[in-house]
Chains A and B, each alone.
Chain A
Amino acid sequence: MSFGFTLALIGAALATILAGIGSAWGVGKGGQAAAGVVSEDPAQFAKVLILQLLPGTQGIYGLLVTFITLSKIGLLGGSPADISTQQGWCILAACLPIALVGLISAYHQGKTSVASIGIVAKKPDQFGKAMLFPAMVETYAILALLVSILAISNINV
């Protein structure tokens, strides 16, 4: 296996690793706040669970990019493609948007989710608005995901 192939694999791994770390952090924070609300008012379980899960999507976006990359470099099909060093760097770079933005946006989305869970605790009927604040943060993860996907699918291998 060439050095380029290794680089591409590092990129693929980073997408899942970093975005996954961010999501784990965000969902973890959200879960702590949600558990607190449920201990007082179990009826809010479904609502706070949704809010807790919102920062979880970055991890999935990371997985998505990893999967596309792995199938691009032929690791999944069992016949690894011949990747030059330059192509390897390109694929690594293409993975970075979702890796880095996923990490940081999930971190902040987690914090926003905690605040929104606070809204639900005090005013359960304001769930629609509470849900919107974390969703705003996610926009940037979606943009990063899009750039990563477009870049990877347009690199010629």
Chain B
Amino acid sequence: MAIVEMRKLSIYSTKKHRKSILEFLQDIEAMEIDAIDSGDIPFEKMDTAGERIRFQKIADEFDHVIELLGQYDKEKRKALINLENTLISRDEYKEIEKNRRKYYSKAKDVLELEKKIFESKATITRKENKIATLSPWSKLDIPLNSEKTKCTRIFIGTFPESLTEEQLYAIATKGLEEPIPVTAEILYNENQITNVCVIATNRVADQVEENMRSCGYSKLPFLSHRVPIKAMEKRQNDIVIEKKAIADAEEQLATFVEYIPKFKIAADYFRTRSEKYRVLGTIPQSDNVFFIQGWVEKEQAEGIAKTLEEKFDAVVEIEQDDENAPIKLKNNHFSESSEGVLESYGLPTHGRVDPTFVMSIFYVFFFGMMLSDAGYGIIMSIACAIVLKKFPRMASGTNKMLRLFFWCGLSTAFWGFMFGGFFGDAIDVVAHTFFGVPETTAVLKPLWFAPLDNPMRLLIWCMLFGIIHLYAGLGMKGYEYLKNKDIVGFISDVIAWYLFLTGLIFMLLPTQIFASIAQMTFNFPGWFNTLAKVMTIVGMVTIILMSGRANKNWGLRIALGAYDIYGVTGWLSDVLSYSRLLALGLATGVIASVINSMATMQGNTPLGVVIFILVFVLGHTLNIAINLLGAYVHTNRLQYVEFFGKFYDAGGEPFRPFKTNNKYIEIKED
């Protein structure tokens, strides 16, 4: 449980070593580089935004190409999840670096093909739309833009209403005398739209047009100069051609699949380069020299400084500056796993205590109590262990998380056996249903007791665990006081509260109220009761007198102290909050037994066994998922709100070393 000590490193060197020093620093991944305000030194910063963005863009293009080609990769990926980067040798990396232009032009080819596919798809959509507009005219067997013949005029157009052929004829020929030289044809009639073709001799044409116009006829705007069927056929042919083009392009794309591994290396190469330029843009430099400032671990400071001085003729200065140093945590292998939990609340600042170790113990303990089912716990631990084993080089955050769940799984299994839960009451139910064990014999007995038989008893235990957790939090505060040699603070803010609260608890235990709630009676000897009263009073008086000690005015000081005593209600609600340990534990167990009783409803028949297996697997999967989530959220809450509330302030900046940003690869050092 510690915060790693940091040292500030200032590196000065000549520009000829700039590239090699940056590459060295990026390689060792041990230094966070500070952006320095060059205001008070006569150095300039280089504008590297252009290069940085250019390389980032190339890396993004490679990423896109890799994703695109992934769809054409015939060899389905072996594992569903991949948690680690591909291991490659330094030589492979060098080869890509040397031929990066070649690979980039290959990637460009892929993008070009993708563009072609896009264009073809757009063309197809356009053609299909055209076909859709033409199809209501498909009955017409003359070109769509026909207007007249030698002696007739042709009206092709639309009425905004539903018409029959007779109605149309009537509209067109209104007021004309026999013989009427008009043919009228309905081409399409749907959705209150009627497409028509009316032919009239020149003599009556004007009258016919006028008749139709007054009924809402509008002429068809230009669509095609072909017969509709022919026009549609032409589009169909175009579509076939475009589809062929797409198929060709896709076939060509598939030939690039073999380059995916190379592209991955190239993507990471350009990403790393972009990051290098980002850092280069933050360091001040003059015509001949440059200056880098940043943070390294104290342990490594000397070594790095020495290498820099010997290899690159740099001048290195090591300083201590705990105020501004970034935070890196160091814990034992077990506690390290819960660092992620702490990080998502916020890291501690320098000079404060790192609570990870204490927290990790309570975290695993409480998590187990909330999930409290041996079967679920064993499944969790095994699943985490398999994934951890299979991907030994996965990202450190994921690794820690899985390790944490591995431990939580063990704790869950432990509490499961304590409370007699193994997939709920699965063992008993199976024994009773399928193996004829009489209902009255319990097969799996809890090592401690079954919570549902005596919830009150477990509730009291939960609160006891809560008090221990909260006392540990107060203890952490005391530890900080002692570390800073603030004895007055230690006594008045920590010891006084311990006395006050412990005294109160011991005064509460023998009372009638407690006995009726907990069904437990405590009979303390008389001197003990007196001791409890003395502890309470001494604690209370100390708090009243001392907690406002920053104030000179005694009246205000006492008032503040009295207000602080009111904080005891906060302690009460904090302790009650631990009842969730019981509630969530019961939730897992009861729902699991609901699933089991549903699963065994069909009894001991072949069909019953099949149904049992189905319901059992589905039901318990669901129950694990939901209760895992609940246990995770509420364990976090107990740490964040109740435990951290007693002593912890976040606000530390995490340590972010300058490094290679690899997404796909990891370089194996020879």
Contact = CB atoms under 8 A, between A and B. Distances in A.
A132 interface: yes
Given A76-B597, A128-B636, A135-B637, A150 B626 contact: no
Interface in A109-157: 125-129, 131-132, 135-136, 138-139, 142-143, 145-146, 149-150, 153-154
Given A53-B629, A60-B587, A135-B636, A143 B576 contact: yes
Interface in A57-81: 57, 60-61, 63-64, 67-68, 76
Contacts of B640: 128, 132
B580 A142 contact: yes
B577 interface: yes
Interface string A22-61: 0000000000000000000000000000100110110011
A40 B576 CA distance: 41
A135 B341 contact: no
A56 B626 contact: yes
A113 to B, nearest CB: 11
Interface in B583-640: 583-584, 586-587, 590-591, 594, 597, 626, 629-630, 633-634, 636-637, 640
A132 B637 contact: yes
Interface residues of B, number: 30
Contact of A57 (B582, B590, B597, B626): B626
Contacts of B594: 63, 67
Nearest to B579: A146
Nearest to A50: B629
B637 A136 contact: yes
A132 B344 CA distance: 11
A61 B587 contact: yes
Contacts of B629: 50, 53-54
Nearest to B630: A57
Given A60-B626, A64-B590, A150-B456, A135 B583 contact: no
A125 to B, nearest CB: 8
Nearest to A145: B583
A50 B634 CA distance: 13
A136 B452 contact: no
A152 to B, nearest CB: 10
Contacts of B584: 142
A63 B630 contact: no
Contact of B583 (A53, A131, A142, A153): A142
Interface string B432-470: 000000000000000000001001100100000000000
A67 B588 CA distance: 13
Contacts of A67: 590-591, 594
Interface string B353-374: 0000000000000000000000
Contacts of A126: 344
B193 interface: no
Contacts of A153: 452, 455
Nearest to A59: B626
Contacts of A145: 583, 587
Given A68-B590, A146-B459, A132 B577 contact: no
Query: Which secondary structure dominates chain A's binding surface?
Result: helix
A139 B637 CA distance: 10
Nearest to A144: B583
Contact of A149 (B345, B583, B636, B641): B583
Contacts, number: 75
B229 to A, nearest CB: 43
B598 to A, nearest CB: 10
Given A57-B626, A145-B583, A150 B637 contact: no
Given A64-B586, A67-B594, A143-B576, A129 B345 contact: yes
Nearest to A150: B455
Interface string B321-349: 00000000000000000000101110000
Contact of B582 (A56, A129, A135, A146): A146
A153 B453 CA distance: 9
Contacts of A53: 626, 629
Contacts of B452: 68, 153
Interface centre among B583, B597, B634, B637 (most CB of A within 10 A): B583
Contacts of A131: 633, 636
A122 B597 CA distance: 45
A68 B452 CA distance: 9
A129 to B, nearest CB: 7
Interface centre among B343, B584, B587, B597 (most CB of A within 10 A): B587
A54 B344 CA distance: 18
B641 A136 contact: yes
B344 A129 contact: yes
Contacts of A138: 633-634
Nearest to B581: A142
Contacts of A68: 452, 590
B397 to A, nearest CB: 11
A128 B345 CA distance: 6
A145 B586 CA distance: 10
A135 B455 contact: no
Contacts of B459: 146, 150
A142 B579 contact: yes
Contacts of B636: 128, 131-132, 135
Contacts of A125: 344
A127 B579 contact: no
Contacts of B343: 128
A67 B597 CA distance: 11
Nearest to B340: A128
A127 B341 CA distance: 11
Nearest to B342: A128
B15 to A, nearest CB: 36
Contacts of B583: 61, 142, 145-146, 149
Contact of B586 (A57, A128, A149): A149
6 contacts: A53-B629, A64-B591, A76-B597, A128-B343, A135-B633, A136-B641
- The 6 residue pairs across chains A and B that have the minimum distance between CB atoms: A128-B344, A135-B637, A142-B583, A142-B580, A64-B590, A135-B633
Interface of A: 50, 53-54, 56-57, 60-61, 63-64, 67-68, 76, 125-129, 131-132, 135-136, 138-139, 142-143, 145-146, 149-150, 153-154
Given A64-B586, A128-B344, A150-B456, 18 more contacts: A54-B633, A57-B630, A60-B587, A61-B587, A67-B590, A125-B344, A128-B636, A128-B640, A129-B344, A132-B637, A132-B640, A136-B637, A138-B634, A139-B577, A139-B580, A142-B584, A143-B579, A154-B456
